[in-house]
Structure 1
Amino acid sequence: MGEIQTRPLRDRNELVALLRKGFGLIEPAVPQLRYRLVGTGSACLQGVDLPVGDIDILLARRSDLDAIAAALAHLPCVTPPQWIEVSRQYFACYSLDGVGFSFSTVEAPIVEDGWECMGPGPWRHYVTVDCDGLRVDCVRLELRLPSEFNRDRPDRYRPLLDHFAAHGADLDLLRQSLTVGNVGEPFLSMAGGLRP
């Protein structure tokens, strides 16, 4: 059997539609799910115009991922639930209408606050976006930017910088996240001119 291929999302409307469909499948299995939408999907949902390759959901507990896997068992499975030692995460991915719909826990012993997907950062620093009655908990953009800087993806970090320039940023949180993420020059200079 061949590898299941996924495609990028077309736009924010498709992202909202797939989140609505996906959470509709998950909610009966895990009614009080503790999660954060992370990655480019989180940025897009918060109004940043950038490419979104897939939907990434950070979970607090492995048992929730197992329950989600059971609820999504009828979907094509890109990656079955598995422990990935190198990144210390429990991970699974399904194809939802051809788009990667991923779930993971990140279980590295991190105490620093400011990472997008590790430690206390995503659980403390988030916003809830209301999409016509669908409420989605998204990691703050200030935690997302260092991830894109460290991956050197200008097609992702430039739209984030533009968004901050237009709408402002929590500069203390951004500085903390840039420091924790060990982001170096010249990326620090790019973020240096942002306003609150």
Structure 2
Amino acid sequence: MGNRLSKIATRTGDDGTTGLGDGSRTDKDSPRVHAMGDVDELNSHLGLLLCEDMPPAMREQLVSIQHDLFDLGGELCIPGYTLIQEAHVARLDGLLADYNADLPALKDFILPAGSRAASLAHVCRTICRRAERSVVSLGRVEAVNEAPRQYLNRLSDLMFVLSRVLNRYAGGGDVLWERERSR
């Protein structure tokens, strides 16, 4: 573990740059910082989702995912460093299979709605997609490992599935898009 921060307001970023984990500095609007920020925002929204009522096993899994996202942010913060592995992606694949097994097949599009917890899971899904796009953009200009991109891709799918599970947990179901609804 690196140095612990004892002073938060260092003023070193007043010039529009920020320090990376390897000691180098980069512009605050660089693709790397965008990716780090999107992952951090996702993690914060997962924290908000965790304030809601949900099955205890799901809560524990989301807390583990928060730790993974913190590691993913660390990997992005240190160019060339690896923290997220194929095993992390495989764990999400397993969760996807487990949660999806009990859900009815989708025959219609669903709206990002329903219970508060399900709606927050949808917000996490959309932020996760943005984080994934940011990591892809970063990969076009700097070397990025495959696992973080794959992890975010699987996590956004999992958040979609969890939103469906959370609606059922709250006593509801999917909120379907209605093609013929009068507007």
Specify which structure has the higher proportion of strand.
Answer: 1
TM class, shorter-chain normalised? under 0.3
TM-score (norm 2): 0.25
